[in-house]
Amino acid sequence: MIVAIDVHYRAEKTKVVGIIFENWNSQIPIHTHIIDMPKAVPYEPGSFYKRELPCILKMIDLLDLDTIQSIIIDGYVYLSNDFRAGLGYHLYQEMSEQIPIIGVAKKSFKDNKVNVVEVLRGTSKNPLYITSAGMAKEEAATYIKEMHGSFRIPTLLQILDTETKRL
């Protein structure tokens, strides 16, 4: 099983959504978990993980980790060419480096070319920026490229994003 997790911040609360799917070609999740949490701590520039990681870990507490082969997050595993840890790497460490983490970002970081594979999907001219820990970045990029859907964002990640932002 694969899990993709996203967090959405509102003024009064934080919503965390995790979707579980069977394989990289899946079209629909087999299960969706939703957690409403109190308002998140304020964003700290350069330390986004401090805000998001506790939310993701709450979601992970609901999962049977023995069945999870990979975790996908909305963001980066590494933030720079010199391997500065991003949200994904902090999560990888929390998982005792036992479960591969794949970061899927929609925007590029200027100083982060070495650790990123750009993936073009469908007819989009805008790539997704793939980083990973626990598996080669090229393998992670192949998985994301082959996910179901003909648009830039794979079907399941679009379902996740929509559910995360739903009131």
pLDDT tens by residue, 88-138: 999 999 999 999 999 999 999 888 999 999 999 999 999 999 999 999 999
According to DSSP, residue 110 is labeled T
Instruction: Provide the domain count of the chain.
Output: 1
Q: How far apart are CA 38 and CA 159, in angstroms?
A: 23
Query: Kind and range of the H or E element at 9?
Result: strand 2-9
**Rounded (5°) CA angle 108-110-112:** 80
- Domain residue limits at 107: 2-165
Reported pTM:
0.95
pLDDT value of position 117:
98
Tokens of 138: 């090229």
Helices (H), 97-136: none
Residue 159's domain is classified under what CATH number?
3.30.2170.10
pLDDT value of position 118:
97
